[in-house]
Amino acid sequence: MTANSTAPAPDPRPSGRRGGRPVPKGRVVDPAALDEIRALLGDAPRRRDLLIEHLHLIQDTYHQISAAHLAALADEMRLAFAEVFETATFYAHFDVVKEGDPAVPPLTIRVCDSLTCAMAGAEALLAALGERAGPEMRVVRAPCVGLCDAAPVAEVGHNFVRRATPENVMAAVAAGDTHAALPPYVDYDAYSAGGGYALLERLRAGELTSEAVLDALDGASLRGLGGAGFPTGRKWRSVRGEPGPRLMAVNGDEGEPGTFKDRFYLDTDPHRFLEGMLIGAHVVEATDVYIYIRDEYPASIEVLRREMAKLPPGGPVLHLRRGAGAYICGEESALIESIEGKRGLPRHKPPYPFQVGLFGRPTLINNVETLFWVRDILERGADWWAGHGRNGRTGLRSYSVSGRVRDPGVKLAPSGITVRELIEEYCGGMAEGHRLAAYLPGGASGGILPASMDDVPLDFGTLEKYGCFIGSAAVVVLSDRDDLKAAALNLMRFFEDESCGQCTPCRIGTRKARLLMERPVWDVGLLDELAQVMRDASICGLGQAASNPLTSLIRFFPDLFPTPAPMAAE
């Protein structure tokens, strides 16, 4: 080009291209932050479905996620900044620091304030720790962390302090004890020595057919133990009936307040779960299995990571994914969205996940405990499982029991047991000085029943007529010393905080219900009307069931809601 050329001068503005390829617009990427992100990710793939895993790497390394790191991550993954930002800010465990905001202190102490911990003094613990916190730490509230049998609970970094007091929490801080302690568990060698994986080998060798497996599950009437209770054999058959390739996802996002049975099994006998999972993957011919475990279970995640590495080659590709603090991801379609690296927003149905699930493929989704029992049912026979039960029910249930009992914990008991039998036979009775007043038969969303109904069988199909359900079998026991209206309000605050915000009936309904329940006198008529709207119009089970504790309290505890006296005539 000559000096006299009439060609236009170069435009000084960014062209939106670098090296001949399009780049995200709208933010200038800090070269130093980009170098840090590249070093952090190393050779890891930059696929969209790994976005949450990469966000965890940043959070774990820097104790926060800065705007500069978000922009650099978006650039490195070839994503729009808005996509990365909306995902990072959706999950409670990512501390996104916007430009100009102060940095997050290097140590975070989380205090569980869900129902059982609240009953055990979480509010006083929060206040005391807040007074003792130094400039290098912060104290925040947290929803249920799955240690309800050791309430109250505080998390120092990733170290969970059971039966927490200001003294033992601050002692952990002073000692720098911020990592999760691994529990004693049955490892691969011990499990294999006890006959583990022999069943899977028979299945893979053709000595045991997939049809025989399905027949055994049908004969045992094993149902999904995550809450929905769908027949397991039927679900597996439905996935097999869809054209391949097929996938499998494990729902280990056990976030229902009062529930901790999956953690118990993962922390004690992980290979029994893994073998059941691999059997399911074989039956539906899944090419890949995605195991999604809630971030509140760091010990379980580490146990699985270590033990999965010991599995012999062969079978599906296994992917261990870590949640990030979102109760809604326990809903199966929100779980799928999260595994794909997105916000955990429930999908509209149909199509159902067995038809169009992960990455658009037919997907088998089971929870941890359901898969845990597969080996026992196949080895001992369907009659063994069906031979358990009380009050006309069949099978076994793992009841997560917490609250005002002498011996809380996971109780393996017959399906259909009543809460009175459960407390007396498995929990050592009520705690000293406490008398049963009410109980939650199915966790936060399962409703509240009075002590006068302590003879109702705890199982699928027995509680619905009372406006309650068994769900994940999380039984929270309340006594005559507990404020039942305060308990219901605690649960509604949880649902308000955990609503994904996608649909108006849930997003606005939980907030409105909470505000009405904070009033000294409840407007029962308005609350009933609001609850009906939430049940009828919410997209997923969170909004549909959030009002169950509220409505059951109104129904079964009328003495708490006296009719206002008529106004005197002037």
Interval 300-324: pLDDT, tens? 999 999 999 999 888 999 999 999 9
> Can you give the pLDDT at residue 5?
37
Q: Does 304 map to a domain?
A: yes
Q: What percent of the chain has pLDDT over 90?
A: 91
* 181 within some domain: no
pLDDT at 3 over 60: no
pLDDT (0 to 100) of residue 229 = 85
* Residues 43-49, mean pLDDT to the nearest whole number: 97
Is residue 47 assigned to a domain?
yes
Q: Does residue 242 share a domain with residue 327?
A: yes
pLDDT of residue 26: 57
**For position 2, what pLDDT does the model report?**
39
| pLDDT more than 70, % of the chain | 94
Distance set, CA 49 to CA 55, 57, 358, 516 (Å): 11, 14, 10, 40
- The predicted structure's pLDDT at residue 226: 87
CATH of the domain at 542: 1.20.1440.230
User: For residue 566, what pLDDT is reported?
Assistant: 53
Q: What is the pTM of this model?
A: 0.93
Do 469 and 496 have their domain in common? no
Instruction: Give Cα separations from 253 to 327, 354, 418 (angstroms).
Output: 7, 19, 27
Pairing type for strands 107-112 and 137-142 reads: parallel
Do residues 437 and 478 lie in contact, with contact meaning Cβ atoms separated by under 8 Å? yes
Mean per-residue pLDDT of the chain: 93
* CATH code, 462: 3.10.20.600
Same domain, yes or no: 348 and 279: yes
Please write the tens of the pLDDT for every residue from 322-338: 999 999 999 999 999 99
Residue 4 has pLDDT above 70, yes or no: no
Indicate whether 320 and 437 sit together in one domain.
no
Looking at the DSSP assignment, which residues form a beta bridge with residue 197?
A: none
What's 489-522 look like in SS3? HHHHHHHHHHCCCCCHHHHHHHHHHHHHHCCCCC
pLDDT tier for residue 562 given thresholds of 50, 70 and 90: confident
pLDDT at position 8 is: 40
Within 8 A by CB and 6+ apart from 368, the residues are 226, 250, 251, 252, 254, 262, 265, 266, 273
Looking at residues 379-391, what average pLDDT do you find? 93
Q: Which of 15-24, 348-357, 493-502 shows the lowest mean pLDDT across its residues?
A: 15-24
* 411 and 313 belong to one structural domain: no
pLDDT band at 25 (very low <50, low <70, confident <90, very high): low
Residue 27: per-residue pLDDT: 72
Output the CA–CA distances (angstroms, integers) from residue 548 to 92, 221, 461, in the order listed.
Answer: 25, 27, 16
Task: Identify whether the C-beta of residue 186 lies closer than 8 Å to the C-beta of residue 268.
Answer: yes
Residue 411 lies inside a defined structural domain of this protein = yes
Q: What's the Rg (C-alpha) of the chain?
A: 26
Task: Point out the domain boundary residue: 175, 204, 224.
Answer: 175
CATH (domain of 361): 3.40.50.11540
Residues 444 and 556 in one domain: no
CATH of the domain at 88: 1.10.10.1590
Per-residue pLDDT tens digits for 194-217: 999 999 999 999 999 999 999 999
Answer for the pair 196, 271: CB distance below 8 angstroms, yes or no. Answer: yes
* Predicted confidence band of residue 235 (pLDDT cuts 50, 70, 90): very high
pLDDT at 191 over 90: yes
pLDDT > 90? residue 16: no
- Residue where a domain stops, chosen among 479, 507, 538: 479
Separation of alpha carbons 246 and 357, rounded Å: 9
Q: Which two tokens stand for residue 281?
A: 């993957």
Give the end of a domain, one of 76, 97, 118.
97
Is residue 20 in a domain?
no
The answer to whether residue 425 scores a pLDDT higher than 80 is: yes
Between CA 224 and CA 77 the distance in angstroms is 37
In terms of domains, do 355 and 417 share one?
A: no
Q: Would you place residue 125 in the very low, low, confident or very high pLDDT band (cuts 50, 70, 90)?
A: very high
pLDDT of residue 228: 83
Question: Residues 412, 522: one domain?
Answer: no
Runs of H (alpha helix) within 269-418: 270-284, 298-308, 332-339, 368-372, 374-380, 382-386
* Residue 183 forms part of a structural domain: no
Q: Which domain, by its residues, includes 529? A: 484-560
Q: Is residue 35 part of a domain?
A: no
Q: What are the tens digits of pLDDT across the range 48-68? A: 999 999 999 999 999 999 999
Reading the block at residue 273, the tokens are 């779960």
Same domain, 232 and 345: yes
Neighbours of 445 (CB within 10 A): 26
Query: Do 66 and 33 meet the contact criterion of CB atoms below 8 Å apart?
Result: yes
Examine the domain organization and report whether 223 and 348 are in the same domain: yes
Is there a single domain that holds both residue 216 and residue 342?
yes
CATH of the domain at 122: 3.40.30.10
Q: Please report, for residues 233, 314, 355, the alpha-carbon distance to residue 283 in angstroms, rounded to integers and kept in the order given.
A: 10, 15, 16
Question: In the numeric block, which tokens belong to residue 481?
Answer: 């010393």
Same domain, 342 and 193: yes
**Is residue 569 assigned to a domain?**
no
**Domains contained in the chain, number:** 5
